[in-house]
Amino acid sequence: MSLSADETRRYARHLVLKDIGGAGQQKLKAARVAVIGAGGLGSPVIAYLAAAGVGTIGVVDDDHVSVSNLQRQIVHRTEDVGAGKAANAGRFVAAINPHVTVVPHVARLAAGNARRLLEGYELVIDGTDNFDTRRLVAEAAEDLVVPLISGAVSMWDGQVTVFLPGGRRFADLYPVTPDAADVPSCEAVGVLGAVTGVIGTLMAMEAIKLITGAGDLLAGRLMLYDGRAARFTELEF
């Protein structure tokens, strides 16, 4: 898949970057990535994948923009309050990179539609904020034999990992479904907006590496971020 003259200028810093270059940029252009959620984590993921030139980004979200989202969901603006998040993410992408196609899926991912929503994508990125949905996304990605990048945030903390087909599974990381009291929602306990930027950007980084084949992935490893202590730690599972 060749690059146009405008794309060559746009991605100049990638084209001279070791391990990306022209071949890597063409892989990004050909990629089809599904992002579940256009909220706190999905926003930086969508922004950086679009800027990087990922050719097709599917955005799955049935929610609408509210004022309380704007503290962290950077693809949405004050004037977008009330707009559907999936379509509004497409507006954001069109403004920064006309070479990227956004496919909005205005739906809440559930057991009955997960496979249909994710079919045709070669990579799934989960930015949802509740455990049950994250489990459904993981099961669908495993069933479709596609990689999954999963992130989560709460208060000052976040985490990110990568699940590859045939490798460590979501069920290996969470063999027992945690009690709801142990995974409170951001609405209940809050979240520092910049934490979603840290974790979302790491998720985008893993996606770009996976698509281009550059670097080592966080597969089988869980990266933890403590924003208050300014510390990263890593666990194997």
- Give the Cα separation of 201 and 197 in Å (integer): 6
Inter-residue contact 35 to 117 (CB < 8 Å)? no
Of 63, 105, 57, 68, residue with least CA distance to 84: 63
Q: Is 55 a catalytic residue?
A: no
Inter-residue contact 210 to 123 (CB < 8 Å)? yes
- Give the Cα separation of 178 and 181 in Å (integer): 8
Inter-residue contact 7 to 202 (CB < 8 Å)? no
**Tens digit of each residue's pLDDT, the chain (237 residues):** 799 999 999 999 999 999 999 999 999 999 999 999 999 999 999 999 999 999 999 999 999 999 999 999 999 999 999 999 999 999 999 999 999 999 999 999 999 999 999 999 999 999 998 899 999 999 999 999 999 999 999 999 999 999 999 999 999 999 988 776 667 777 788 999 999 999 999 999 999 999 999 999 999 999 999 999 999 999 998
Contacts of 95 (CB under 8 A, 6+ apart): none
Inter-residue contact 208 to 49 (CB < 8 Å)? yes
- Give the Cα separation of 2 and 30 in Å (integer): 10
Given the residues 86, 138, 186, 208, the one annotated as active site: 186
Q: Locate the domains of the chain by residue range.
A: 31-236
Query: Which pairs with CB-CB distance under 8 Å and at least 24 residues apart come from 91-98?
Result: 92/46, 92/47, 92/50, 93/46, 93/50, 93/57, 96/47, 96/50, 96/51, 97/10, 97/50, 97/51, 97/53
Decide which of 3.40.50.720, 4.10.490.10, 1.20.1420.20, 3.30.460.80 is the CATH code for 31-236.
3.40.50.720
Of 58, 53, 3, 11, residue with least CA distance to 34: 58
DSSP conformation letters of 95-130: HH-TT-EEEEE-S---TTTHHHHHTT-SEEEE--SS
Q: Is 205 helix (H, G, I), strand (E, B) or coil?
A: helix
